[in-house]
Structure 1
Amino acid sequence: MSAIGRRSRDDLGRAYVQALSRGLEWLQMEASVASLTFDQLARLAEVWVDDVRRQQARHRVIEALQFLHGRVASRWVRWADTFGLPQPPTTGDPVDIIASPYRLATDLRLGRYVAGLLPLYDTALAILAGDHAAKTDYELLSAPWRQVCLPSPFTPTTLYGPRTQLALSALSARRFPRSCLTQILCARRAIDNADWEAATDTVHKAALASGYPYRGKCLFREAVASAETAADESPTHPELAQALWGYSAVQAFHQQLTADGAALLAGPYRAGGRTPPPA
């Protein structure tokens, strides 16, 4: 197992984030990623300029984050999946992985899209560095995000919309008995992968139609963490994460999915006996 794989259950360290001097901003950051719109992406690309000052500030912040490089690299791997970017090699040097999204800005096929995302990467570095980085570096690197994404109408309690708490409560699998997890896993494996992928696609289309294209993927990353905690192994069975996400997604995207699609996605979770059967 790679070093990143070992860290994936809590890739940034819950205790570190809670003690972070800019911890509240990190929560705002995560909420803004889940609620990011294409309009915001376009505006971020317009205001982000990778000049020498920003490059130097980024280098200083990355140096200050040496003790956290592996965990930051793990987050970059997650974000590559969330944003649909090429995955960096997960067995590579963490510093190389941290640099990977910035190299994509030179790709003519991705340049404009990546330019809208890089302010988020810069902001994440600046926030996570906390008091280990100069305030001027934080202000420079986070300026585009603060200008475009703040104030946000969403908070950590509403980042998936009005049914956020219902969706997140479905991910409390750490309290499930092992027998329940086994039933959930078996029920998910009994569903044909093509049928599951088709139902999954309806969630991402619903997120896109709502104007927040990354909500489904961000919710899935939370389901992965929940599955790993519940199973006490990292990585764990992908089908377990899928099953937890499926039920959670049905809660978040209530009435935006077809009845058949919602029933299929919620079925494995319900098989664990943790919810009443649908009416």
Structure 2
Amino acid sequence: MGRAQPGRDDLGSAYLQAHPRGMEWLQLEATVASLTFEQLARLAETRVDDRPLRHARRRVVASLEFAHGRIASRWVRWADTFGLPHPPLTAEPADILDHPYGLIEDDEIGIYVAGLLPVYDAALAILAGDHAKPADYELLSASWRRVCLPSRFTPTTLYGPHTQDALTALSAACGFPRSCLTRMVRACRAISTADWDPAADTVHQAALRLGYPYRGKCLYWEAVARAETAMDESPTRPELVHALWGYAAVQAFAGQLPAEAATLLASPYRAGGRTPPPA
């Protein structure tokens, strides 16, 4: 089944509520979950002269020194989400922030990375908030705003029409008693990797068919954050992450998954005893 990546949720709701661009960050997250390959190609085409961007990046990163750890944690998550080489977890936060920009020189993935860097730039610009010069914010976020906005999706619909069902299931788990969470962990451990992995892959295949290839991974990271909150530990037990993600994925991708796969993915969460039996 793999394992949950380390790191307590780096941009929790309290932080974003107090942030001057918190709502804009939520919109960025919605566009990441709904990012298409066509948009990636258009984002890559916006790259012309990187020198002004590099200067703006350095200024913004310097202004964000107080939040390097928070943002570096997001970079680690996005490396997994986008299928990029993983930055060393032991590296300094500033080095992790530089990591995706160095990948542009890789002949095998450089074009793909070129489409993603405007997303990273927009993240820096947004999180810098009032610490960034207006001109740097405009420059770093311009490509993302031009290609990805306005979006069909909002923070409440970022996983499609069943977003709220999925997010409600994740939020509910944060209030479950430890005994319930323990039953979920045990139920997930009882499922072999040979059975779980193909079922989980049906989620990612469904996301591809719908045209939003990163939805499954984005939802997985929602599950990581909620599992850490539920257990009050970071990193937390990967089996709990998978149990929460599996059930949430079945909700988010309702009608898109094979019935057998959906039943398996939902079973560890149901084993906690807090949901009605399947119809």
TM-score (norm 2): 0.96
Structure 1's consecutive aligned runs of 4 or more residues displaced over 4 angstroms after TM superposition are none
**Deviation at 1:12?**
2.7
For the pair 1:99 / 2:116, whether they are aligned, the reply is no
Cα distance in structure 2, aligned partners of 1:120 and 1:275: 37
Aligned pairs (5 A) from 1:139-218: 139-172=138-171, 173-218=173-218
Residue type at the aligned position of 1:113: Y
The equivalent of 1:247 in structure 2 is 247
Asked if the contact 2:16/2:23 (under 8 Å) is kept, the reply is no
1:234 corresponding residue in structure 2: 234
Structure 1 residues 128 and 146, CA gap change in structure 2 (3 angstroms): same
Residue type at the aligned position of 2:237: H
Alignment of 1:40-51 (within 5 A): 40-51=39-50
What amino acid maps onto 1:37 in structure 2?
Answer: T
After the TM superposition, which residues 71-150 of structure 1 pair with which residues of structure 2 at under 5 Å, given as runs? 71-150=70-149
Q: What are the residue-to-residue correspondences of 1:17-36 with 2, within 5 Å?
A: 17-36=16-35
SS of the residue corresponding to residue 233 of structure 2 reads coil
Q: Determine the C-alpha separation between the residues in 2 that align with 1:24 and 1:45.
A: 25
Q: Which amino acid aligns with 1:95?
A: A
Query: CA deviation digits over 1:122-175, x for unaligned, max 9?
Result: 000000000001010000000000000000010000000000000111102110
Unaligned runs of 5+ in 2: none
Alignment partners' CA distance in 1, 2:204 and 2:114: 23
The offset of 1:48, in angstroms, is 2.4
Cα distance in structure 2, aligned partners of 1:15 and 1:266: 30
Report percent identity of matched pairs.
Answer: 70
Q: After TM superposition, give the deviation of residue 104 of structure 1 in Å.
A: 0.3
Q: Give, in whole Å, the separation in 2 of the partners of 1:263 and 1:15.
A: 35
Deviations 1:200-238 (A, max 9, x none): 100000000000000000000000000010011000100
Match of 1:53 in 2: 52
Match of 1:10 in 2: 9
Residue-pair matches, total: 274
RMSD: 1.0
Provide Cα deviations, 1:96-124, integer angstroms capped at 9, x if missing partner: 10000000000010011000000000000
One-letter code of the match for 1:276?
P
Structure 1 CA distance for aligned equivalents of residues 225 and 11 of structure 2? 12
Using the TM superposition, give the Cα deviation of residue 52 of structure 1 relative to its aligned residue in structure 2, in angstroms: 1.5
3-state DSSP of counterpart to 2:174: helix
